[in-house]
A and B are shown apart, each in its own frame.
Chain A
Amino acid sequence: MIRLFALLFSLPMLASCMQESQVLNKGLVYCSSGNPTNFNPQLSQTGDSLDISSQLYNTLVRLDPNTQGITSGLARKWHVSRDGLRYQFELRRGVAFHSTAYFTPKRTLNADDVVFSFRRIIHPTHPFHSASGGSYPFFNNTQFSQLIKNVKKLGPYKVEFELHRPDTSLLANLATEFAVILSAEYGHHLQKHGKNNQLDQLPIGTGPYQFKQFIPDNLIRFERHWGYWEGGAPMPQLVFDITTSPTLRLAKLITGECDAMAYPAASQANVISDHPDLLMNVETGYKVSYWAFNHDKPPFNNAQVRKALATAIDRKTILKAVYFNTGVVSHGLLPPTSWAYNPYLDDYAYSPKLARKLLQESGIKLPLSLTIYTSSSPEPFNPNSFKTAEFIQRDLQKIGVNAKIVVLEPHHLHSSIVNGEYDTLVSGWSAVTSDPDNFFRPQYSCNAIANHTNTSRWCSAKLDGLIDQAVKQNRMVPRIRIYREIQEKLRNHLPLLPLAHSLQLQAYRRDVHGLKSSPFGGVNFSEAYRD
């Protein structure tokens, strides 16, 4: 009996001592945060679907991680017509699609696949347009269908995008993880068998890994795509371990059950950087949190008042207490990594004394009382909006301004935003492309008031003119000049006070190399391996 005992209990311990496992060295495990709704990023905007995008698919062009410029992807090169209305792409030859248990491709990538992938989105009559719900959130938000007149094949490896109006942010949109290229041959195959929905559930792409298995709430299994055009990935297997709780994800990373984890919380940053086996990638994300002043509610339409309030806020303390230093103070709405960032802006430095003086000079009736509306749940651009609002409230108290915080569920907050009930609002913005237009148009343009993304509800025809002028300009230097001018104007008018850019964190084990992440949240395992 006792011997049996000893044996039973020594077994697991024994196994844990067996180093050098033959399987574990042949694959990577990524702790992802949830079930993807489908396996086609065209259809979704959640981080979980973004995480699979770079493993399964490629895009026409890519974003260079160092320069933030556009580089070649499936398109070898591209050409923009002089009027900015035609974009021609020349495709790479010999790009192989995945060959899986459910589909064997007979040809490599050509112009038909590109036409198929984009017509599906823009043509409501396309056989696949309404498959899987027919909603394309990213393309709706960027008004893609209204911009593109047609996508047509010019030759077997040549495609042309015809635009309604010039828009230089098109390339940045095509470089996102949403604008993936599907297989037209697979589409026709499914159509013949009447299984259109399968296109988005059993994916066929050109990416470094191909789909093998999906068990909801449990795992997604990928295997190496040997024919990958950039060379096969170093690891034969990639598994996404679906773990919704961030605490459990970190626990698994510490025990080594996962090699990398999705979305570490800001509060976990210290644990990760202190742990000897873990490393953390830190990148300034294209996200910003801000404090917006509702211009429909006096006295917040008074620039002097806004400036007084802005000067009263100690943003460094917010950064420390709310972001756990996983962020940087925002000067202007653009993150410092953006090519249009204006480094010469002087900022509203924290000074309660000056704030009090400005407020008295503004000539409004004192003491001032205001409401701060904010969301009750953590958001990508702010780990704790409520705490941020509390710090603002405390800072305002120091200059004699009485603030009342209204915390609402995201759903209710949205309807308050629609009705414009707030005096001020602590919120933010997560950009989906690196293009500066993706910051300025949604936050400051007049049209965006109706879309409820311009929360300061300030409308200026002059600024709108500048924003439109910038996207029409296809030469870089004049475009940068326009954006700098926009930032100057915003700095002087101050419709909202940018608070912080959250850092994009990525945690992984020390023995993992070659992991790439995108500033928008996706992860890329094409070159990742473990030694």
Chain B
Amino acid sequence: MLIYIIKRLNVLVITLFLLSVVAFLLQRQVITDFVNTDNMLGDYQRYLMAMLSGDFGISQASGNPVLQDILTIFPATLELCLMAFIVSLILGVPFGILAGLSRGGSADYGIMTVTLVGVSIPTFWFAMLLMMFFSLHLGWLPVSGRMGLLYEIPVVTGFNLLDTLLSNQPYKYEAFFDSLQHLALPTIVLAALPTTEVIRQVRASIGEEMDKNYIKAAQAKGLNTFQIIKRHGLRNALPAVIPSLGLQFGRVLTTAMITETVFSWPGIGPWMVNNIYLEDHSAIQGGMLFIAAFVLLANMATDMLHLLINPLKRDELYGKS
């Protein structure tokens, strides 16, 4: 296990190193507040030290250190992404099982058709469609932002749902529900992509597991389908889904930027777009490095999680199976 972690960390360090080289070469092309000399290697060394100590420079737009700006903004994005993953699991697993059980049947066709639509629908269009219907036509949900602006909630964690509950305001539950309402539409839009992925993965692995002999044995014992899935099917099917979720993280983060811009969600998306307009190079670069590093770390973390949950994978590692 330890060796595996070290191996995995090695890959991470090398990827981050390559990333920093690319970013460094890019920043040499544009004027930033970072002083360049003729000595490229020396420059790179100083650059790397600055990055490692979290010094991404000063944002020309806000006047604050870039890292500070990112850290205040990023929780909003993370909150949205986490909610989207939760929703994708809640929706994806049961529908995936249903599709997996009735492979080739009408339920399977129905679910897979919807999945296909979910993958191919353009994010911004889907977002606007939902906004038109639920907000403007029905008036059920707000069109933008994280929370009604009249609620004054002090920022503690940066996660609105937590912050509302942690606050001492007399209206904290009301503010919590208001946050949920604001989350609803962006979450649905953002969850579209990972949900389809979860459905397809669960469908595939459930389909595979259900053909195996131990399931047949369970059936012979007289367990009903629900019990079989609960006790055997899911346990063996679910771990396979985890690494694919990790890989999805990068895509979800990209989609999140579009979703955020449509719903004026004050996360990293509108922040990056705004900085691109303002040509704030240190902020763009800092944001890019931060997001890339975050995605890499998230991938590694899901790999680790997979390893912890799935003992079979560990055996594979050591060539035991």
A interface, CB within 8 angstroms of B: 1, 4-5, 8, 11-16, 18, 21-24, 26-27, 29, 215-219, 221, 237, 239, 241, 243, 248, 251-252, 254-257
Contact = CB atoms under 8 A, between A and B. Distances in A.
B42 interface: no
B136 interface: yes
Contact of A15 (B135, B150, B180, B271): B180
Interface in B133-175: 135-136, 139-145, 148-152, 170-171, 174-175
A381 to B, nearest CB: 26
Interface string B219-250: 00000000000000000000000000000000
B17 interface: no
Contacts of B90: 4-5, 8
Contacts, number: 85
B266 interface: yes
Interface of B: 62, 90, 94, 131, 135-136, 139-145, 148-152, 170-171, 174-175, 177-178, 180-181, 183-184, 264, 266, 270-271, 274
B149 A11 contact: no
A237 B151 CA distance: 10
Contact of B148 (A23, A215, A218, A254): A23
A252 B145 CA distance: 10
A16 B140 CA distance: 6
Contact of B174 (A18, A29, A243, A255): A18
Contact of B94 (A1, A11, A237): A1
B141 A12 contact: yes
Interface residue SS majority, chain A:
mixed
A1 B223 CA distance: 20
Given A22-B174, A248-B144, A255-B143, 5 more contacts: A12-B177, A18-B177, A23-B150, A29-B149, A257-B145
Nearest to A243: B264
A23 B184 contact: no
B185 to A, nearest CB: 9
A217 B140 contact: no
A12 B184 contact: yes
B150 A237 contact: yes
Nearest to B87: A8
Contact of A24 (B135, B144, B148, B177): B148
User: Max chain A CB contacts within 10 Å: which of B140, B170, B183?
Assistant: B140
B78 to A, nearest CB: 17
Contacts of A243: 144, 264
Given A15-B178, A16-B181, A241 B136 contact: no
Given A219-B149, A221-B152, A257 B144 contact: yes
A14 B177 CA distance: 9
A21 B144 contact: no
A237 B174 CA distance: 17
Contact of A16 (B136, B141, B143, B150): B141
B283 to A, nearest CB: 13
B143 A251 contact: yes
Contact of B180 (A12, A22, A237): A12
Given A8-B90, A251-B135, A257 B177 contact: no
Contacts of A248: 143-144, 264
